[in-house]
A and B are shown apart, each in its own frame.
Chain A
Amino acid sequence: MKFFIAFILTALLSFAGCLFFPWWIIAVAAFVVAAIIHQRAVASFAAGFFALFILWALQALYIDIKNEHLLSTKVARILPLGGSYIALILLSAFIGGVVAGFAALTASFLRKR
């Protein structure tokens, strides 16, 4: 239950934060949530990681499908990911996830066990 709440809160706070702040607000969001909802290190990391992985993946997919993959395909040719929009979206989601995961992990180590 704690995990699920942390997961949802991180995602929501990140989404709201990104409306007003630069992208790295996701680290702040994950850190704050993990500091408030204390969990074991692995669980904290996972909640942060999956919150952002799922949030960014879903947002990216939503925009990308409405765009019929036009821009993601082009960007995936530039980066270079062989023009695979799926690879690009997974990469974005992974990057968001890792940053949030490590921020959450930091917070979990802050608190005494």
Chain B
Amino acid sequence: MRIVPCFITAITTIALIFLLNVPLPFGQSKTPCFGAFLSPQHGYLQNAEPVDEDFNATLHFPILNGKVEVYFDERLVPHVYAEKENDAYFVQGYLHAKFRLWQMDFQTYAAAGRLSEIMGETSGGNNFLKIDRFFRRLGMVYGAEQSLKKLEADSITKNETDSYTAGVNAYISSLKPNQIPFEYKLLNYKPEKWTNLKTQLFLKYMSFDLAGGDNDFEMTNAKKIFSASDIEKLYPTMQDSLDPIIPKSTVFQPASIVSNKPAGADSIYFHSTDSIEAPLIIKPDKNNGSNNWVVAGRKTRSGSPILCNDPHLGLNLPSLWYEMQISTPAFNTYGVSFPGAPSIIIGFNDSCAWGVTNAGRDIKDYYQITFKDTSEQEYLYNSRWKKVTFRNEVIKVKGQADVVEKIAMTVFGPVMFDKNYPNILKDGKSYAVRWKAHDASNELLTSNKLDRVKNYFDFIKAITTFQTPGQNFIFATKTGDIAIRQQGQFPAKWRRQGDFIMPGIDSSYLWKGFIPSRENPTMINPARGFLSSANQLATDETYPYYLAGQPEIYRGIIINRKLSHMSDITIEDMQRLQTDNFNVFAEMARPLLLKYLDQGKLSADEKGYVTKFKNWNLRNDVDEEGPTVFKLWWDHLSVAVYSDEFAQTTLPLKWPDESTLLEGLLKDSTYKFVDNINTPRVEKLDEIILQSFKLACKDLKIADAKHELAWGKYKNTGVKHLLKLPGLSRLHLLIGGGTNIINATTASHGPSWRMIVQLTDDIEAYGVYPGGQNGNPGSKYYDNFVDSWVRGKYYPLLYVSADRVRTSSKMKWKMTFTKA
């Protein structure tokens, strides 16, 4: 034995194994454990699915009550036929897990403020501890716990969710360590058991995404530099060109809940002149919205209604949606589901179809809390010191000690901001957040009922208990009814209640009650033969409640204009409309820009861009250059108009909406904010239009030099993996559209599911989403719909009844689930 060489090689071998068995630092991130990751029998290659993968299987589970057959079509869409209803939800959970486990697990880590557990405090330039603290302090877990109680108190949702959870866990239990999804291996952690709470956490995350936005601190800051009348000009609550969901001149019943502004609010709330480490504030994407519309049979060639829906959300891989059909003796429903929750969310059954867009009402407000002392144990409420209860949120951080957020709970809600957790105004004060998503609510009951809805009355019954996030539910039946309702449990607010931070020393500023569901904006079978919603305000100002929110108006205008001019409508017409790139905002703004632009003061190059803009067909198509000119010009104009006033504070403000500037300028060319307050003279509109155009030209030349002037190149849409890894993403997609356009595809956001359903006797339906059915990046079904989605193509949705599926030539694989 040669001791020295033996010793050296033994140490080397062990050191090698050790190094290959732990994550190594790489840049700001960590590598996977290379040994296991690269071993063909353990690592990533075990997730490399053969392109001719055989999905046939026969599985046995003791929990099942009957037989479930699952047929997969060539797009890997499962068609589930269950003898017993709970078995259907078990199989839905199993399939979600089989194809989307990592995604559903990861999303609930994010929702629960647990990302630090897997990512550590920081990774890849992200501070996950800050993100976790934000969600904990917002009360995401608190809200999910509240709603879980309600879910489990209702036997329908309790049974379906229990079955669903059992299905997810049946799949997780069947996994061998080398079979866990790819991302677990990449990030070096393991799947954990699913729970009903995780389903609620996922739903709360959707509530955050769709109804978690606010600008209350920014608006409060604005009060310090702008007068009340300026605030109305910068942040109007209603726009002139609005075409609301419920047409103007509709007569509404008077409000059953009267909510009056508290006495003294004019001085305390509207004109408060109180003055005020950078905190992390996460805001949902402002573009979260959607289109839906339905046309009545008398406007269609088939004579039956056609319903269309495209929810606009962040574009991610794996996709938020999982397409499937669920058939039981009680219902037969096709549509998209959320991996993480039972039921079909958007879809159709053999009598009806439904879809949703976001209501965008403001249901998240803040109250300033006055604590007796820094211990935060008591706060002033109705002239007394009231005791708080503390909620401890324990954040586990990988490789570090736990971080505990001790959150004071008040009658207003959790104290989100205090001395330990500063707000963006850095005023050191304490603020409680009142968010509707904190309330116990059972949204899954609505989905459960919608899946089996037969007529308008069922529809109303199904949605009436839906609380958060408020949605515009659109609906059509085979019998010819079309309907829409903006549904949610919305607080009855006095005008501008909650737009700013409210005083929290007594009950006077609390929400005084909720608008009864029957008083929510509703319309059935209108004379005009169609209904639509596109995140604009639901009504005009004759509606007896305040519609707090940040509406978008342009998509609604163009959808309604086009639908009102259409007749003899076919499915192809609806596909063209859903992917339409006409820019109605530019149509309204272009005459103004050209009118005030003095072309005599332009260079030859600059004139070239004017010509492009003038000759533009107003469509944001991939190859058009006009949209790029318009976008850059408008952005520079907006900065030129407002930046001088907004520079009066270094603290955050809310930038006015595009519609606010356009309507301000259209109404009055001497629009107050056009003048630069830093110069003695009064600037005119033509001066700043010229100035902003010249600035835009500089950017245009840069884009031109990079051959990125064409809109598709300039906009640069990508569908990113949830971990933002370019290698797992589909980037640089040449797709048109954009903000304010029906095809609302921006750089990272857009139509996450396009669906068209014609309610003929044999339902004819089409759909597409930018992703694929299999969340595994090693599957050819990971992103195989993306190209069709980019080209505006649709897949026919195979809606097959139980008696015909066995003989269908369209089904490729079959999984059978039976009782063990």
Interface residues in chain A, defined as those with a beta carbon under 8 Å from any beta carbon in chain B: 15, 18-19, 22-24, 26-27, 31, 41, 56, 59-60, 63-64, 66-68, 70-72, 74-78, 80, 83, 91-92, 95-96, 98-99, 102-103, 105-106, 109-113
Shortest beta-carbon distance from B798 to chain A in Å: 25
Shortest beta-carbon distance from B525 to chain A in Å: 50
Shortest beta-carbon distance from A102 to chain B in Å: 4
A91 to B20, CA, bound (A): 13
| B47 contacts partner chain A, Cβ-Cβ < 8 Å | yes
| B780 contacts partner chain A, Cβ-Cβ < 8 Å | yes
Q: Is the CB of B21 within 8 A of A24?
A: yes
Beta-carbon nearest neighbor of B776 in chain A: A71
Q: Is the CB of A109 within 8 A of B728?
A: no
Mark each residue of chain B from 340 to 370: 1 if its CB lies under 8 Å from any CB of chain A, else 0: 0000000000000000000000000000000
Shortest beta-carbon distance from B26 to chain A in Å: 9
| Contact of B726 (CB < 8 Å), options: A24, A59, A77 | A77
Mark each residue of chain B from 39 to 63: 1 if its CB lies under 8 Å from any CB of chain A, else 0: 1111111111111100000000000
Q: Which residues of chain B (723-737) have a CB below 8 Å from chain A? A: 725-728
Residues on the B chain within 8 Å of A27, using CB = 13, 17
Residues on the A chain within 8 Å of B17, using CB = 24, 27, 99
| B779 contacts partner chain A, Cβ-Cβ < 8 Å | yes
Q: Can you name 11 A-B residue pairings with CB atoms under 8 Å?
A: A23-B36, A24-B35, A27-B17, A59-B45, A63-B45, A67-B48, A70-B48, A92-B43, A95-B34, A95-B38, A111-B1
Residues on the A chain within 8 Å of B9, using CB = 102, 105-106, 109
Q: Is the CB of B5 within 8 A of A109?
A: yes
Q: Is the CB of A75 within 8 A of B5?
A: no
A113 to B5, CA, bound (A): 13
A74 to B186, CA, bound (A): 12
With A64-B45, A64-B48 known as contacts, the answer to whether A23 contacts B39 (CB < 8 A) is yes
| B792 contacts partner chain A, Cβ-Cβ < 8 Å | no
With A18-B41, A75-B727, A109-B2 known as contacts, the answer to whether A95 contacts B48 (CB < 8 A) is no
Q: Is the CB of A71 within 8 A of B39?
A: no
Beta-carbon nearest neighbor of B3 in chain A: A109
Beta-carbon nearest neighbor of B783 in chain A: A70
Q: Is the CB of B38 within 8 A of A71?
A: no
Q: Is the CB of B42 within 8 A of A67?
A: no
Beta-carbon nearest neighbor of B47 in chain A: A71
Q: A22-B36, A31-B13 are in contact. List 7 more A-B contacts (CB 8 A).
A: A15-B41, A27-B13, A71-B44, A91-B38, A99-B17, A102-B9, A110-B6
A67 to B778, CA, bound (A): 8
Residues on the A chain within 8 Å of B35, using CB = 22-24, 95, 99
Q: Is the CB of A72 within 8 A of B40?
A: no
| Contact of A66 (CB < 8 Å), options: B5, B20, B21, B51 | B51
Shortest beta-carbon distance from A68 to chain B in Å: 5
Q: Which 5 A-B pairs have the closest CB atoms?
A: A77-B727, A71-B778, A109-B6, A67-B48, A59-B40
Q: Is the CB of B41 within 8 A of A59?
A: yes
Residues on the A chain within 8 Å of B48, using CB = 63-64, 66-67, 70-72
Taking each of A41, A67, A98, which has the highest tally of chain B beta carbons within 10 Å of its own beta carbon? A67
Shortest beta-carbon distance from A67 to chain B in Å: 4
Q: Is the CB of A66 within 8 A of B778?
A: no
| B16 contacts partner chain A, Cβ-Cβ < 8 Å | yes
Shortest beta-carbon distance from A59 to chain B in Å: 4
A63 to B777, CA, bound (A): 15
Q: Is the CB of B13 within 8 A of A60?
A: no
* Count of residues in B whose CB is under 8 Å from the partner chain: 41
Residues on the B chain within 8 Å of A26, using CB = 39
Q: Is the CB of A96 within 8 A of B41?
A: no
With A63-B48, A95-B35, A99-B20 known as contacts, the answer to whether A78 contacts B41 (CB < 8 A) is no
A18 to B45, CA, bound (A): 14
Residues on the A chain within 8 Å of B47, using CB = 71
With A64-B48, A70-B48 known as contacts, the answer to whether A109 contacts B1 (CB < 8 A) is yes
With A99-B13, A99-B20, A110-B6 known as contacts, the answer to whether A78 contacts B40 (CB < 8 A) is no
Residues on the B chain within 8 Å of A110, using CB = 1, 6
Shortest beta-carbon distance from B41 to chain A in Å: 4
| B276 contacts partner chain A, Cβ-Cβ < 8 Å | no
With A67-B49, A68-B780 known as contacts, the answer to whether A56 contacts B44 (CB < 8 A) is no
Residues on the A chain within 8 Å of B44, using CB = 71-72, 75
| Contact of B39 (CB < 8 Å), options: A56, A67, A74 | A56
Residues on the B chain within 8 Å of A41, using CB = 5
Beta-carbon nearest neighbor of A59 in chain B: B40
| Contact of B16 (CB < 8 Å), options: A15, A59, A78, A99 | A99
A76 to B778, CA, bound (A): 13
Shortest beta-carbon distance from B518 to chain A in Å: 52
Mark each residue of chain B from 763 to 783: 1 if its CB lies under 8 Å from any CB of chain A, else 0: 000000000000001111010
| B12 contacts partner chain A, Cβ-Cβ < 8 Å | yes
Residues on the B chain within 8 Å of A109, using CB = 1-2, 5-6, 9
Residues on the B chain within 8 Å of A70, using CB = 48-49, 51, 777-780, 782
| B10 contacts partner chain A, Cβ-Cβ < 8 Å | yes
| B182 contacts partner chain A, Cβ-Cβ < 8 Å | yes
Residues on the A chain within 8 Å of B50, using CB = 63, 66-67
Shortest beta-carbon distance from A84 to chain B in Å: 12
Residues on the B chain within 8 Å of A105, using CB = 9, 13
Residues on the A chain within 8 Å of B777, using CB = 70-71, 74
A113 to B437, CA, bound (A): 75
Taking each of A24, A63, A71, A109, which has the highest tally of chain B beta carbons within 10 Å of its own beta carbon? A71
A43 to B795, CA, bound (A): 60
Residues on the B chain within 8 Å of A106, using CB = 6, 9-10, 13
A64 to B49, CA, bound (A): 9
Q: Is the CB of B725 within 8 A of A18?
A: no
| Contact of A60 (CB < 8 Å), options: B16, B34, B45 | B45
Q: Is the CB of A112 within 8 A of B780?
A: no
Mark each residue of chain B from 8 to 26: 1 if its CB lies under 8 Å from any CB of chain A, else 0: 0110110011001100000
Q: Is the CB of A103 within 8 A of B780?
A: no
Q: Is the CB of B186 within 8 A of A60?
A: no
Residues on the A chain within 8 Å of B182, using CB = 71
With A74-B727, A98-B16 known as contacts, the answer to whether A19 contacts B49 (CB < 8 A) is no
A31 to B17, CA, bound (A): 13
Shortest beta-carbon distance from B189 to chain A in Å: 16
A96 to B17, CA, bound (A): 10
With A78-B728, A110-B1 known as contacts, the answer to whether A63 contacts B40 (CB < 8 A) is yes
Beta-carbon nearest neighbor of B41 in chain A: A18
Residues on the A chain within 8 Å of B16, using CB = 98-99, 102
Taking each of B5, B21, B40, B45, which has the highest tally of chain A beta carbons within 10 Å of its own beta carbon? B40
Beta-carbon nearest neighbor of B36 in chain A: A23
Shortest beta-carbon distance from A17 to chain B in Å: 9
With A24-B21, A109-B5, A109-B9 known as contacts, the answer to whether A60 contacts B40 (CB < 8 A) is yes
With A67-B778, A99-B16 known as contacts, the answer to whether A112 contacts B1 (CB < 8 A) is yes
With A56-B39, A60-B45, A72-B48 known as contacts, the answer to whether A102 contacts B13 (CB < 8 A) is yes
A75 to B778, CA, bound (A): 10
With A15-B41, A19-B41 known as contacts, the answer to whether A78 contacts B49 (CB < 8 A) is no
A22 to B779, CA, bound (A): 25
A23 to B185, CA, bound (A): 13
Residues on the A chain within 8 Å of B1, using CB = 109-112
A77 to B20, CA, bound (A): 20
Shortest beta-carbon distance from A55 to chain B in Å: 8
Q: Which residues of chain B (659-712) have a CB below 8 Å from chain A? A: none
Beta-carbon nearest neighbor of B721 in chain A: A74
A112 to B10, CA, bound (A): 16
Taking each of B35, B41, B50, which has the highest tally of chain A beta carbons within 10 Å of its own beta carbon? B41
A23 to B18, CA, bound (A): 12
Q: Is the CB of A103 within 8 A of B725?
A: no
Q: Is the CB of B45 within 8 A of A68?
A: no
| Contact of B727 (CB < 8 Å), options: A23, A78, A98 | A78
A102 to B16, CA, bound (A): 9
Residues on the A chain within 8 Å of B6, using CB = 106, 109-110
